[in-house]
Structure 1
Amino acid sequence: MSLTPPLPLLKRVSPGGWTALAWCVSVVYPSLANTSAAYTSALHGARGATGHRDWAFIALTTVLALAACALLRRRPLSALVLLITATIAVTDAWRSGVQLPPTALLAVDAALCLITADCPRRTSRAAAAMVLGVLLGHLALLPELGGGLFLTGTSIGASDSGLLVAVIAWLVGRSIRQSREHARTLGAQAASQAVTAERLRIAREMHDTVAHSIGIIALQAGAARRVIDSRPDRARDALAEIETAGRETLAGLRRMLGALRQADQDASVPVPALHHPPGPHQPPGLHHPPGLHQLPGLADLDRLAATTASAGLRVEVQWQGERRPLLPEIDLAAFRIIQESVTNVVRHADTHSCRVSIDCRKADEVAIEITDRGRGHGTTPGSGYGLAGLRERVALLHGEFLAAPRAGGGFRVSARLPVAGGVR
């Protein structure tokens, strides 16, 4: 089942359909309105034939014009030649002294406009040259017969008006073409920006999902290697923690890949969710909103602290103010900031403790601060992918982010996330 909405009614009409409609209007309008004596004379009086014979000739030229309309999309220049021929024939414009009224050129002007809007520039220029050349050639014959290349009083000759309308039709088609090209350019830029933003989002999630667990695994593996002979029980505990961290990392990757695969599926095809048993440190009351593939949040801080403590880093969590539920994107960003900061402390700070503070005292924001008294995070603070990803997360949420060494030693990461209207 397709979810693409149908096109508006007017856009369902093909270029040939619009041109055929314009031809019918140009043929029927003079008889109904009775406002163009010259045109009616060209249709009926110039041949000096009966009305039945005149309408039979109009029907013949109409068949020719409809054939041109059918060819308009595949062979635009050939179709335009047939339309011009039918127009000149039905109006007797090839006879002496007969001018082409603008109403007779409706089909030709419509075809010129559509060709200019839809076809390559070379084709549109050839079509414009063809129409303007025919009209100028027709006008060139009229001055010898007292006709209309010149303004007569305050009025413009009928053929002069037809030439002006043809120029306007070409300009309208060109404007439509430029608008479409501009829209396509904007669409391509928006698509490129969306792809880039999605790649950055996936990169952040992959980094935040894997980096913490891999850091814990590396520390536990090193500890197990050092005590495997003297303290086999400690080595077994470290290996158990490695197994748990590895399973949780794989589960997180499966959830992420499942979400990416589901986005590629048709919305009408159900994709089975990937279930996995909760980790040994997951609180029994933890609940994640449906549809978010159990993304972590601040409710997982106790589990994060327990996992990190098993790797030799004590995390002191302090809450200020009343805890309140946050929107999923705020909750996830807050957890990722803490997780990445704690991971950096484990990997770089060379310390045994750090402090995590979550300040919820203000109703319109949540403030997060992670501090340690280690030896710092390297010579260039914030140069890694982790902190760069955190800056991007906070910037997308219109918050403030700071990561820098502390004056008295150690490192400090702080973030302020606006939550105005974000309490669910």
Structure 2
Amino acid sequence: MPARTAHTYDHRMHVTPPLPLLKRVPPGAWVAVAWCASAVFTFLARLRLPGEEAPSEQVAAQFFRWDGLLILAIACALALVAGRQLSRRPLTALALLLTAAAFVTTNLAVGAIQSAQFLAVDLALYFIAASRPHRTGVVALGMSLAVLVAWLAVRLACGWGVGTLAGLTVALTAVVSWLLGDASRRTREYAETLRVRAAAQAVTDERLRIAREMHDMVAHSIGIVALQAGAAARVVHTRPDAAREAMTAVETAGRETLAGLRRMLVALREADRSRSPGTGPSSDEEESRLRPAEGLADLDRLAAVTTAAGVRVEVSRRGEPRPLPADIDLSAFRIVQESVTNVVRHAGTTACRVTVDHRDGEVVVDVTDDGRGQGSTTDTGFGLLGMRERVALLHGEFSAGPRPEGGFRVTARLPLPATAVAP
């Protein structure tokens, strides 16, 4: 598999299902549909429909005249232009819709703008309040109410009759539409805040777990250093060669431990690792501290346990195996472990393949299956995020996503330090 940078695969990390059919329709199209529906309703209300003795509304003198039809055509053109402008210039689109509503109302010989003529405006108010900043939504609501008030004020100034109750009803529907849109925006922002916090917490938890594992590795190395140093002190005078070998082992363990610490701790961000007062480690945490660090040598045991659970794991190794630094060995094993766990939980298959490829300067682990191709993308446990974080801390490359031929693949490339590369 050719080398690629980690960000090349970011678009494969999250498999997003397609939007429902209705949500694919842009807001401007819904506004245009609402305007057309209101125009048809207005026309039908002034006809005597089957079963009626008379039309529900009286027809104004200019309703079917050329000037009335011209005004209707202009209003419809304004509404359609508003639908196209709604996503880019919401306030301009709303102004066009309000103008169109006022134009159509002049044809109806009524005292106030009717609810049918304000339907498209209400829908535009909802979309503006739901998708735009709060200030933009407030301005849009103010524009709508101002037009309603101005309509009634002009008719009163001219000595014409007004429909105060109808105007109040239309104003109420506008306010309700804005409130619904604003509530939708706040809910979406709150959900996004929770998602960001959960992702950040997942990264912090993963890094704290890595830090605990590093603590285990360092403690193990320091124990070896203490034993070897003690042995060297006891035989330094009687067996100088044995003492020299022991001190060489001390030097090797110290260098490996320092290299692992440097790679890992430099990349870890500062986080709050304090515990709540009065809480101690659980029995599982205490047991995990007492276990020796795991590595790729434990893959056969992992495969046997997973196979016994019902999913056959085939492990293959390529290249010439070499001793790996403890942090790289542990991270590679954890990535395989998490990937196999995701296969058991989500893939819906009975087998998967694990490949460990020892190359010059790097070790590559690859886990594939022939399941549904979902991996852990639907898992709320942030499994992929944790694996990517591990690889990033070791300056490696990570990819995860469905395979073209079906199934799912997780690949991690972990570079080796110069001291671990065979000459």
**Distance in 1 separating the partners of 2:251 and 2:177:** 73
**Distance in 2 separating the partners of 1:35 and 1:225:** 109
Q: How do 1:330-349 residues align onto structure 2 when only pairs under 5 Å count?
A: none
**Distance in 2 separating the partners of 1:54 and 1:291:** 83
Partner of 1:88: 102
Paired amino acid for 2:211:
A
- Within the alignment, does 1:192 sit opposite 2:205 as a pair? no
Partner of 1:334: none
Q: How do 1:254-333 residues align onto structure 2 when only pairs under 5 Å count?
A: 287-290=300-303
CA contact under 8 A between 1:97 and 1:142: conserved in structure 2? no
The equivalent position to 1:168 in structure 2, one of 176, 190, 194, is: 176
The equivalent position to 1:6 in structure 2, one of 14, 18, 27, is: 18
- Within the alignment, does 1:131 sit opposite 2:144 as a pair? yes
The equivalent position to 2:89 in structure 1, one of 71, 75, 86, is: 75
**Distance in 2 separating the partners of 1:169 and 1:215:** 69
**Distance in 2 separating the partners of 1:285 and 1:179:** 46
**Distance in 2 separating the partners of 1:75 and 1:291:** 61
Paired amino acid for 1:287:
D
Partner of 1:341: none
Deviation at 1:58, TM superposition (A): 3.2
Paired amino acid for 2:177:
A
Partner of 1:145: 160
Listed as ranges, the gaps of 5+ residues in structure 1 are: 150-156, 261-281, 293-327, 330-424
Partner of 2:122: 109
**Distance in 2 separating the partners of 1:205 and 1:188:** 26
CA contact under 8 A between 2:46 and 2:57: conserved in structure 1? no
- C-alpha distance after superposition, 1:53-85 (max 9, x if no partner): 755653432222121122222221111111111
Paired amino acid for 1:159:
G
Deviation at 1:14, TM superposition (A): 2.1
Deviation at 1:287, TM superposition (A): 3.1
In the superposition, relative to structure 1, how do residues 54 and 198 fare at CA in structure 2: closer, same or farther (>3 Å)? same
Deviation at 1:49, TM superposition (A): 0.8
Paired amino acid for 1:288:
R
In the superposition, relative to structure 1, how do residues 38 and 75 fare at CA in structure 2: closer, same or farther (>3 Å)? farther
Paired amino acid for 1:61:
A
In the superposition, relative to structure 1, how do residues 199 and 32 fare at CA in structure 2: closer, same or farther (>3 Å)? farther
In the superposition, relative to structure 1, how do residues 173 and 291 fare at CA in structure 2: closer, same or farther (>3 Å)? farther
CA contact under 8 A between 1:19 and 1:111: conserved in structure 2? yes
Q: TM-score, length-normalised on structure 1? A: 0.51
Paired amino acid for 2:88:
R
Partner of 1:333: none
Q: How do 1:6-45 residues align onto structure 2 when only pairs under 5 Å count?
A: 6-32=18-44, 41=59, 45=61
Paired amino acid for 1:160:
L
Deviation at 1:15, TM superposition (A): 2.2
Q: How do 1:202-221 residues align onto structure 2 when only pairs under 5 Å count?
A: 202-221=210-229
Paired amino acid for 1:170:
W
Paired amino acid for 2:201:
Q
RCO comparison, higher one (Cα < 8 Å, 6+): 2
SS of 1:103's partner is coil
What do you get for the CA RMSD once the two structures are aligned?
Answer: 4.1
**Distance in 1 separating the partners of 2:87 and 2:229:** 70
CA contact under 8 A between 1:31 and 1:40: conserved in structure 2? no
Paired amino acid for 2:119:
L
Deviation at 1:127, TM superposition (A): 1.0
**Distance in 2 separating the partners of 1:222 and 1:96:** 105
Paired amino acid for 1:211:
A
**Distance in 1 separating the partners of 2:120 and 2:298:** 73
Deviation at 1:92, TM superposition (A): 1.5
Q: TM-score, length-normalised on structure 2? A: 0.51
Partner of 2:76: 62
In the superposition, relative to structure 1, how do residues 233 and 85 fare at CA in structure 2: closer, same or farther (>3 Å)? same
Count of residue pairs the alignment pairs up: 259
Paired amino acid for 1:5:
P
CA contact under 8 A between 1:46 and 1:92: conserved in structure 2? no
Partner of 1:49: 65
Partner of 1:183: 191
Deviation at 1:178, TM superposition (A): 2.0
CA contact under 8 A between 1:113 and 1:169: conserved in structure 2? yes
SS of 1:170's partner is helix
Paired amino acid for 2:195:
G
In the superposition, relative to structure 1, how do residues 201 and 49 fare at CA in structure 2: closer, same or farther (>3 Å)? same
**Distance in 1 separating the partners of 2:240 and 2:58:** 109
**Distance in 1 separating the partners of 2:299 and 2:109:** 92
Deviation at 1:108, TM superposition (A): 0.7
SS of 2:116's partner is helix
- The percent of aligned pairs where both chains have the same amino acid is 50
Partner of 2:242: 234
**Distance in 2 separating the partners of 1:232 and 1:10:** 82
